[in-house]
Amino acid sequence: MQHIIQIDKVEDGMVLAEPVLNQFSQVLLPSGTILSKFHVNILKKWNINFVFIDVQESEDNQDIPKELIDSCKELITSKLLWSPTLGIEIDLINITAKICAQNKLNDTLKNATN
C-alpha cells in the first residue's frame, strides 16, 4: 500500500514508495529511502511538495493464529547455528515466521475451498 502525503507530514523513518524525480526524470531520491529531517529539508529546497510513502498494513497479521506463527518460528530457529540476541536478528526471524505462517494459512484456505 502506498499513500501520497504532504512534505510537512513526513515523519522520521517513513519509506519512499516511489522515487523522487526532477523535471528531467532524473532520480533525486530512490524508492526505498528511509526519510529523515535531513531529506525533508532538501526536498523542500527542491520545491517537492508531495511524496509517495509506503504504508505498513498493520492489520494483516491479526488473522494469523499465534500458534501458527510460533510453530513457524520454532522451525526457523531449529535451523540456526546460533541463538539470536540482536534486535535486527530477532526482527528478521519474526518477519520470516509471519510470512511462513501467512503462507501456511493461505494453503489451508486454498485446500478448504477446493
Partner 1 sequence: MQQIDSILNKVREFPTLASFFSALSGTIANPNANIHDVAEVIERDQASVTKLLKIANSSIYGFRSRISNVSQAILFIGFEEVRNILLTLKVIQLFRTRDSDIKLINPIDFWKHSIGTGVIARSIGMNIGIQNTDILFLSGIVHNIGKLLFYIAAPDDYENALELHRTQKINIQDAEREILGISNSSIGEMLAQKWKLPLPIIEAIKYYPTGFVGEKINLNVAIIHISDIAALILGYGNDGREYVQEPNPNAWELLHLPDNFFSLNYPRIQRDFEENSTILLDD
Sorted by sequence, the CB contacts under 8 Å of residue 5 that are 6+ apart come out as 50, 51, 53
The answer to the question of residue 30 lying near partner 1 (CB under 8 A) is: yes
Cβ pair 35, 16 in contact under 8 A: yes
Report which residue type is found at 86: L
Distance CA 31, CA 23 (A): 17
In angstroms, what is the minimal distance from the CB of 30 to partner 1? Answer: 6
Of residues 30 and 65, the one with the C-beta less far from partner 1? 30
The answer to the question of residue 25 lying near partner 1 (CB under 8 A) is: yes
Pick one of 7, 94, 104, 105: the residue that binds partner 1 (CB under 8 A).
Answer: 94
Cell (9 digits) for 69: 506463527
The answer to the question of residue 42 lying near partner 1 (CB under 8 A) is: no
Distance CA 103, CA 72 (A): 10
Cell (9 digits) for 5: 502525503
Stretches 3-11, 43-51, 76-84, 104-112: which one binds partner 1 (CB under 8 A)? Answer: 76-84
Cell (9 digits) for 99: 510470512
The answer to the question of residue 32 lying near partner 1 (CB under 8 A) is: yes
Q: Contact residues for partner 1 (CB under 8 A)?
A: 13, 15, 18-19, 21, 25-27, 30-34, 54, 56, 76, 79-82, 86-89, 91-96, 99-100
